[in-house]
Structure 1
Amino acid sequence: MGALSIKQVRKSYGPVDILKGIDLEIDEGEFLILVGPSGCGKSTLLSIIAGLDTATSGNIQIAGRDVTHQLPRDRDIAMVFQSYALYPNMNVAQNISFALEMRKVGKAEREAAVARVAKMLQIEHLLDRKPAQLSGGQRQRVAMGRALARNPKLFLFDEPLSNLDAKLRVEMRAEIKLLHQRTRTTTVYVTHDQVEAMTLGDRIAVMKDGTVQQFGTPDDIYSRPATKFVAEFIGSPAMNMVNAGVAAEGLSVNGQAIALTPEQQQALRAAAPKSGCVLGVRPECVRLADAGLAGRLTLLEPTGPDTYAFVDTAIGPLVLRTGGRVPQRVGDAVHIAWDAQDLHVFDAATDRRLG
């Protein structure tokens, strides 16, 4: 039995199904990411885990204990919200210790807990300040400190970094990862940011329209996306996608033969897709070459360490990501290439991966 077990959880509002039978299980100490676009059901699932919402059907267990119908206070969880939810009339120390005080924890134990988490989060110098005197990053640390003081069985994070600027998001992302490495508390973290998902999670559940499209490690999700949606959602820039027809020796796009590996050819023959395929290749796997698919450079986007190059080709517009600067200029004729093992092939009818 895992630290968190979610079995066939469904949520409906009248005829509208928000969650359509979610099954997930994570082990003690794991960091689970729920990621997906707005409206996919990830925050609803987190609310059901927390007890802030009730499932229409299904079962939630925490550390082997059925909590499906228990109140939030009885689930031994701590939640960090997007809005921080700090009490404005209390200073930092009081905010951190308030939940412990409500649980009738003794003063000496409360003070020890405040000192412990303040040291861990490096906010000892802020303990006498009110929330209005804190920056966004400092408020987020206080919100995490309040959760840490509880020493719960389960941490729940609901898009905690979405209100921070880009620099602070990077800093706080590192703080959260270091915090988890120190405490090894089982954690569920909701985000729509795929960079957060890839950098923080031990395992990721990619959600769409109330279903889990894929559940696996960051490497699984990135290297072998189970569906076309997962392939396009994870990765930046997004994976290049082109519609392909099935040819005698593999796939063809606008008359251009596409070389496949023997394994890909075998999967293609076994599936025999009637509606054709969708072919995907990540921008970082496409390269400028002396020979290959001919095209014309239409746009360059230098980002500093990398450059994104947009190329019009006979099979459609493609994006490549390359380190450093590109010597060619917009309008130049170029050739691009990739390795067959870097291709991803999806059934056009089902969007499922082939092989």
Structure 2
Amino acid sequence: MSKQSLRSFSILLVITLLISIIPTIFATEKTDKKAEEKKEETAFVSAKLVSDATMLNEPRADAAFVAGLMADTDVKVLQMGLSWCKIDAGLAQGYVASRFLRFSDVPEQESFAIVNAKNGRLTLREKPNTKSKALAKLKNGTVTAVLKASDKNFTLVAVDGKEGYLLSNHLELTGPRESLGTGKIIHPDHPGKVRKIRMRWDDKTGSNVIDEYKTETPVIILSKGETWYEIEVLGKRGYMMKKFIEEAAAPAPAPAPAQPAVPAGVQQPVQPQQPGAVPTLVPTIPQPDTPFVPSPTASPEPGEYVEEGEVLEGVPDDE
């Protein structure tokens, strides 16, 4: 093969290699760009700390410490809640009590708006009119942050990374709440099996279902009644029957310091008695045995749980 032919072959080989490599480079860059965009698309609502606060790893006051945050720190709220909000403070994520967060300059007692629509859902709109573009459909019980005090017709809110307007007469305005602890959803009659339990808008059965959640889903407890608990689940507030909630146990107290052992052969000091005092033994009265009477097993409330895969009927949206 001549030198010229060899040179031509080499050039052709280089061109072939470039043609095969360049698409791979662009494909890799495109994939990396999509991954970055997806990371940046994590929905959040901006908020500011009104005072120094502690970030914890769970939404309860006795949870493990994550970080200490200073007043006026800007944070991203990843999950809204009346009692606790999950936040991203830049270097760490965790939970902060909602009373430490402000989303706008509205009064604290009206800083949250809960969806309360007649038909179970409400449309979040781009502008304050019913003909404006729909941004999202929000189910009853959804907790939103109020950005602008409500006027006669609409309230500007933020939720799940979106800002928009909701009809004011379908909202319940409220301030931060204190929680009574945490727990998880269970089904006492079907332990170990996956069941879906209904959360409701009111503490009664009927056509007021907000959503349904699988057993083992964590909940935050806001208030307790004889039959119903008021709870928060994944950014929604509602009611669920007490028997379907297992409260989380409080952390075990630290063990008491051990008492030093008395060396062998050392006599314990004897407490002196008063002169003339005669020790008196208190007679014990035998108590009759109380027969065990088993409590009746409560039957599950009809309609409060559904089998895996069952779908609730659809309802029309409010404007």
TM-score by length of 1: 0.21
Higher relative contact order (Cα pairs below 8 Å, separated by 6+ residues)? 1
Larger helix proportion of the pair:
1
Larger Rg: 2
